Chains A and B, each alone.
Chain A
C-alpha cells in the first residue's frame, strides 16, 4: 500500500478529520451547485441590483431566525391585478371605468415594513387615471388619493406624507392597525384579516389597459434575508463559496508549490543560489502584505485575480522557505538521492522527483490549514473595500453590512451569516489539517 493510501486509511480513525471532510464536501457541493444554478454572468447581473429586486423588502432578516426566536414577523404578500377580477362598471364615449380589487389576506399581528403599489399602464396618448381606496377587514375605507398613471408607475403608499398625517402614524402601521384612537396603545398591533385595495381606473382610450400589483413588504425574507438594496443575500453568500474556495485553494497551491520548488532548488544547488533565495526571503519577510495589497487595490485594480497574483508572488519567498529548507537539508545527503545522482538523474529531476515528493506528506497538513488563511485574507480585503468590483463574495457582504451599520440597526444576520460561513470554512479545513498532521507528521504520531 502506498504511504498516501495508508495515511488516508489512518485518517478515517480521526472523527475530526471526518467532520472536517464533511464540512469541506458540503462547501464544495454548494460551490458546484452555485456555479451551475447561477452562472457567473447571471450572478454578476443579479448583484448589480436594481429593479429585479423591487419586490423584496429592505434589510429583511431570514425567516427561520425570526421563527426560531418565537417571532411572527410578516413575510412579503402580493396581490396582482392579473389574478384579480376587473369589473367594467361603465363605458361611455370611449371612456371606461374599471374597478379592480387587490386583496391580501394578512395573517400577522406585526406590521409590514412597506406598502407599495406598482402600476403599469398600456395606452396610446391619454394616460389612465386611477383612484385608490383601502378597505380594512372591519369595512373601514381609507382613501389613498388618485393619480394619472404613466407607462410605469410606482405608488409608495407607506411614504405618503399626507396619508401619514391623516392617519396620525406611518401609513404601513395605520393601514393595518386595530381600529381605535390613534396613538393610545403602547404597542400597536396589526389586525389580521382580509385587506383590499380598491382601484378605480378611468381609461380614456378603448384599448388602454392597467396592470397593478400591490406589494405588502414583510420584515423577513427567505433563508438568508436581504440587504439594503433589497438584494437577496443568498446570491452573495452562495457565490461567495466558489470564490472563497477557489481563492484559498489557488493561493495555497500557488505559494506552497512554488515555495517548495524554490526551497528545494536552493538546498540542492547550494552556494550563491541558496544565499540569494535566503536573502530574498529575509527581505520579503519584513514586507507587510496587507498594506501592499491595499496599495495595489487602491492604485491599480481590485480584481480578485490580480489580488490572487500579488498574494502568490509575495507568498513565494515567505517564511515557508526557511521551514522547507530545514526539512529538505537532510535530504541532500540522503542515500536515494546519491543513488539517483550515481545513475545520472538530472538536477531538475532530483529536485522535482526526489526531494519535493519526500516532504509532500509532511506538508499536506500545513497546506490544508493554509487554505482558510487565504480565504480570510480575501474576506479582509473585501471588508477593507478592496473586494472585486463585480463579484459577490462573503467579504463584500460584510463590507456592506459594516458600511450600513448593520449591527447598530440590529441586522445581526447580515454580519453573522458571512461570518459563520467563514468560520465554517476555517473549521472544516483546520479539523482536517490537524488530523492530517497527526497522520503524516511522524513527530506528532503517538502510538
Chain B
C-alpha cells in the first residue's frame, strides 16, 4: 500500500495542531438540569508532524482517552481548536468528516472487543472499504491482502476466513492495525494498543506500529499509561495529568531528565526488573489524581506535589515553560 500524498497542509505546518483544546462533558440531572461538567480535556496544546511518533502518557482518568476520541472526531471539542491538515476539526460535518475519518486510523486497547465477533477477518477489514465506497470487490480484496501482509499476517489466506476468537491476542491486534491502515490514513491513533497483550507480544506490536509509521511517514499518537514502552517506539512524549499536558519532551530527555514533579514521580514509581527492587520501597506521592469534575485551582498536581509552593502553585496555573530543546514543563519550579 502506498500512502497518499500529503495535501492541504501548508509546508512547515504540522499535520495536527491543537491549541487550548477542551472537551468537557456536561453532567445533568434528570436529563436536563446542568449540574456541572467533567473537564476531560482541559486546555491541551499539542502538535504532531507527519512522520512523527509521539506518546501521550498518563494515568487512568487523566483525559488521555478523551483526547484521543476528540482527535478522532468521536467527541466534539467544546473549546479551543484542533486543526488537521489546516482544517478545524470542530467544523467538520458530513462528507468532510467522513473523509477525515479515512485519514485517521484507530487502534484500540482491547483487540478482541475491537473486532466484530460475528465477522471473519476478511469481512472486518472490508467494512471500512465498503463504508468509503471502495469498489470493485477485487480491489477491496487486493487491499485487504496487502494490509494483512503489511501487519505480518501473510499469507493472507490463512487468517482471511478466521473469526476473532480463533486468533491469538497478538494476531487480533495485527488485524486491528490492518484495519486502521486499510484506508491509507495520514495519522494513527493508538489508545493503549498493547496493555492487554502478553509481555512478549507487546514488543512485536510496538515494533510493528513503529515500522509502519516510519515506512509510510505516518503520524502516530501512542496513548499509554506505561512509560517503559515509549523508548524505541516514539520520538516525543507528552505527559498528561488532570486533563492537561504537563510536560513535553523528546523521549530520551523525558526518561533521563524529567522536569515536572509528576513525570518525576511516574518514573520513580517504575523500575526495570532488578532483584534489588524487592529491598526498597518506591517513593509514591500521596493522594489520588484530581477529579476532573472539580479540579484543584492552580497547578493540578500541587496537592500531591512534594515541592508545592504555597501561594503560587495552589493559586496560579503554570504555563508550559521551555526547559530545553523541544522540552517544556508546566511547572512554576522551572520559571
Contact = CB atoms under 8 A, between A and B. Distances in A.
B2 to A, nearest CB: 19
Interface stretch (B44-52, B99-107, B263-271, B277-285): B99-107
B131 A358 contact: no
A422 B139 CA distance: 53
Nearest to A341: B74
A172 B114 CA distance: 82
B115 interface: yes
Contacts of B104: 342
Contacts, number: 66
Interface stretch (B6-14, B116-124, B200-208): B116-124
Given A339-B106, A339-B114, A345 B127 contact: yes
Contact of A336 (B102, B115, B131): B115
B74 A345 contact: no
A338 interface: yes
A358 B72 contact: no
Given A2-B163, A334-B113, A335-B113, A342 B106 contact: yes
A343 B102 contact: yes
Contacts of B117: 3, 336, 358
A354 interface: yes
A340 B110 contact: no
A344 B129 CA distance: 10
Interface in B75-114: 97-98, 101-102, 104, 106, 108-110, 113-114
B316 to A, nearest CB: 38
A12 interface: no
Contacts of B73: 342
A349 interface: yes
A338 B106 CA distance: 9
Given A3-B163, A338-B74, A344 B128 contact: yes
A354 B128 CA distance: 13
A357 interface: yes
A414 to B, nearest CB: 48
B232 interface: no
Contacts of A3: 117-118, 163
A343 to B, nearest CB: 4
Contacts of A336: 113-117
- Select the residue from B102, B109, B131 with max chain A CB neighbours within 10 A: B131
Contact of B108 (A338, A349, A357, A358): A338
Nearest to A340: B127
Interface string A342-358: 11111001000110011
B209 interface: no
- Select the residue from A335, A339, A345, A354 with max chain B CB neighbours within 10 A: A339
Given A344-B101, A345-B127, A354-B116, A339 B132 contact: no
A342 B189 CA distance: 10
B74 A342 contact: yes
Contacts of B110: 335
Contacts of B244: none
- Select the residue from A335, A336, A353, A360 with max chain B CB neighbours within 10 A: A336
Nearest to B166: A1
B116 A2 contact: no
Contacts of B163: 1-3
A354 B119 CA distance: 10
A360 B116 CA distance: 13
Contacts of A1: 163, 166
Contact of A342 (B72, B116, B120): B72
B179 interface: yes
Interface in A95-150: none
Contact of B128 (A343, A353, A361): A343
A244 to B, nearest CB: 32
Contacts of B109: 335
B118 A343 contact: no
Q: How large is the interface on B (under 10, 10 to 19, 20 to 34, 35 or more residues)?
A: 20 to 34
Interface in A354-375: 354, 357-358, 360-361
A98 to B, nearest CB: 81
Contacts of A358: 116-118
Nearest to B72: A342
A344 B106 contact: no
A312 to B, nearest CB: 26
Nearest to B98: A344
A351 to B, nearest CB: 13
Contacts of B74: 338, 341-342
A343 B106 contact: yes
Interface string A282-301: 00000000000000000000
A339 B114 CA distance: 7
B179 A339 contact: yes
Interface string A3-41: 100000000000000000000000000000000000000
B272 to A, nearest CB: 31
A3 B163 CA distance: 8
B230 interface: no
- Select the residue from A342, A346, A353 with max chain B CB neighbours within 10 A: A342
B330 interface: no
B329 interface: no
B183 interface: yes
Interface string B132-148: 10000000000000000
- Select the residue from B110, B116, B179, B183 with max chain A CB neighbours within 10 A: B116
- Select the residue from B104, B117, B120 with max chain A CB neighbours within 10 A: B117
A349 B118 contact: no
Interface in B13-69: none
B37 to A, nearest CB: 18
Nearest to A337: B116
- Select the residue from A345, A346, A358 with max chain B CB neighbours within 10 A: A345
Given A3-B117, A342-B72, A358-B118, A335 B128 contact: no
Contacts of A342: 72-74, 101, 104, 106
A339 B115 CA distance: 8
Contacts of B115: 336
Contact of B131 (A338, A343, A361): A343
B108 A343 contact: no
A339 B132 CA distance: 14
Contacts of A335: 108-110, 113-114
Contacts of B120: 2
B282 to A, nearest CB: 33
Contacts of B118: 2-3, 357-358, 360-361
16 contacts: A2-B163, A336-B115, A336-B117, A338-B74, A339-B108, A339-B114, A339-B176, A341-B74, A343-B106, A343-B127, A343-B183, A344-B132, A346-B131, A354-B116, A357-B116, A357-B118
Given A340-B127, A344-B132, A358-B116, 12 more contacts: A1-B163, A2-B163, A335-B110, A338-B108, A338-B114, A342-B72, A343-B127, A343-B132, A344-B98, A344-B101, A353-B127, A354-B116
Interface of A: 1-3, 334-336, 338-346, 349, 353-354, 357-358, 360-361
